[in-house]
Amino acid sequence: MEEEEFLTADCSAVAYQYADLCIPVEVSPHAAIGSIRTECCGKPAITCRENPSCRSCEIIIEQKIRIKIPIRYTASARIGEVEIDCSKDCRCK
């Protein structure tokens, strides 16, 4: 082999390493309440009650209502410190 050919020859290599990774991920939930709305269901029931002292009257109103409570759910994630354990079983290819 001539010296000139040796200097221009291309050499390459490929190596592989196996490793076990440990990546902690912390997930945090978030919730927010939107505008609450109410709606009457049917007619109210009204009853009168007399006060035993005869100084006042009491009116009791009962009403069934439907309450709309919109809730928006989201979550965020944060990655902790990554750990690596290089495998001692090096199966190079």
Residue bearing the bigger pLDDT, 84 or 47: 47
pLDDT at 92 over 90: no
How open is the CA angle 83-84-89, to the nearest 5 degrees? 160
Where do the H-state alpha helices sit in the chain? 3-8
pLDDT, residue 93, reads: 46
Place of tokens 């997930």: 27
The tokens for 32 are 């927010």
Amino acid at 45: A
**Per-residue pLDDT at 52:** 74
In terms of phi and psi (left: phi > 0; alpha: psi -120 to 50; beta: otherwise), the region of 42 is left
Domain boundaries, the chain: 3-86
- Taking only the tens place, the pLDDT of each residue in 18-75 is 888 899 999 999 999 999 999 999 999 999 987 777 778 889 999 999 999 999 999 9
Three-state DSSP class for residue 25 = strand
Q: Where are the beta strands (DSSP E) in 18-56?
A: 19-22, 25-33, 37-50
Q: Residue 1: pLDDT band by 50, 70, 90 thresholds?
A: low
Give the pLDDT confidence score for residue 46 in this predicted structure: 94
